[in-house]
Structure 1
Amino acid sequence: MKTPNLQLDSRGRLRHLLTMEGLSRELILSLLDRAAELAEATSGPEKKLPLLTGRTVVNLFFEASTRTRTTFEVAAKRLSADVINLQIAASSTSKGETLLDTLKTMESMQADMFVVRHESSGAAHFFAEHAAPGVAILNAGDGRHAHPTQGLLDMFTIRAHKAPGRPDFSGLSVAIVGDVLHSRVARSDIHGLRTLGCTDIRVIAPPPLVPVGIEAMGVRVFHELERGLEGVDVVILLRLQKERMLGAFLPSLSEFHADFGLTRERLARLKPDAVIMHPGPINRGVELEGDLAYDERSLILNQVTYGIAVRMAVMAEILGETAGATGAGA
């Protein structure tokens, strides 16, 4: 397949990270293991490691983001990389410069990695196809297509809380609830879950928000929240992406919450030890009752913390001199 080959070098090591699709189980687990090592190595007062000293990482965000951009910046700085945050609204792209011109201009400044977030599906692949040798592209979300580091941090979260010490996710039931049609996170999570052995993946949404043919990805589709939540171990909630909706997909936000919002009453459908996840930002009173974000079963803030370690692992894997070294005693 084109995508995995584009992501991997001739030795099978990660060169770019564009999508979860096509990544092997062994590579995903290796990245999760490395993230755990880096989280441990930076858990004390001293949080900086020298792994990427002298390297330059450019955050190239064409879409607004707080959580993702900030965690990428923190991750790169904890690895001792130099970080440039390019303000797209004030950049030459707003004056008509093409994506390719922007890439080549930044390459001429000897940047080593571009973290790209763009509203168009395939933008990260375009950069990877045209990047100079030795310049890495890391997809921070492209249109509806993929958000691979979110997928990895979600896998990290599930493994840490629902499958510690287990070889895979077999036996787990995971429900993805909400605007699946417009969600790159849902696609990345489904690829990750399947690769790690989860065979009970459920998509729960009103019919207009379910992609046609998504069953081919190995999921079961439910249009009733209560039935879809029966006995699940993990619930991944998605926000309604109104900025991507052309036309009327739903009668109203209040009706969506009434039919598909997670409430304390609906929590009773889950297993007693089930956990709640959400990639953020949260729309309180839409996809979940307001106080559930900080319920004891919620891992939403854990996901943000884990996201730093996972993004450190990916950057270190791609740009680091030796795979597997954390810089802590290595």
Structure 2
Amino acid sequence: MPIWPDPHCPKRPVLPMPPRVSKCRGCWRFWPTPPPMRSAPIVARIKSSTRVRTRVRTRVRVSRTQGLAETGAARAIADVFIVEADERRPDAALRLLSELKSHQRTRHAAVCLMDATGQPDRAAMAFDLGADDVVGPDVALGELAVRLRGLLRRKQAADRRRSRFELDLRLAMLDPLTGLYNRRYAAPQLAAIAARSQDTSAPYAVMMIDIDRFKLVNDLHGHITGDAVLVEVARRLTANLRDGDLLARIGGEEFLVVLPDSGRDVARQVAERLCTAIEERPIRTPSGARVAVTVSIGVTVAQGAPGSDTVFQQADLALLDAKGLGRNRVTFRLTAA
């Protein structure tokens, strides 16, 4: 029988999980995995009323619906789309252009409109809808090739800037050693949970977790072993919490846990389980040594009015009580209500 409510309960809010991370074997540090880059650029020629044709070693035909579908690959089927306007349905090309620029999978692809009407106002409308270039139907192949190379260069440069920006965002909210959220991310999340509690009167629990005598681990075994202990403690804590719970490393050997929609009984059961998970077996380090560690946990439960700062302070004081009473234990401060 589980010691906490069903983690898949639909009433439990689910917090966003940390981004996918990769582990560096040499230093035990975790870094966000950058999105994969396309090995070779792809140019697709698409008619507004027919099929999509791409060329990647072999010719592939997909329908317009398939090209814009959400299923399958996570990115567009091409880096650049050449949209050919149908003389009988000139407005269909503009609608397709709008779709390509608004669709999740294709909005970052470059689009070149090949307009058969030659009307200047249509070119203006195309640029207003997001077209990257507009050419006439009688454009020379050499000129078209130069234009497409320019579109590819700009598109690939934009992809690199976007990847760097996304990587910076991930690094701003992740602890590089353990891969957990950091204090910068955890503080506003705790404030949001506290605000939701005020609206719904649902209780929530806050835990401060500290590794006992961690400085002694560093002094006796070295900082590389200390890093390995932190990583393993983070892994065990993660394995014993629900997807909707918040776990963050907020200091050297200190961790914050927030349990939304959890009362005192659930908080005590979870905290005792975390203590047992850390203590039950020594941690194996990269050098082959086995290091036995324990944790102390301070808990407070809030409901309604108290702000997140007050609850955090009460949990921190409860952690000091646990340290003063001999470590490797769970203590509660007065429930904030």
TM-score range, shorter chain: under 0.3
Instruction: Provide the TM-score with structure 1 as the length reference.
Output: 0.21
Q: Report which of the two structures shows the higher radius of gyration computed on alpha carbons.
A: 2
The structure with the largest strand share of the pair is: 2
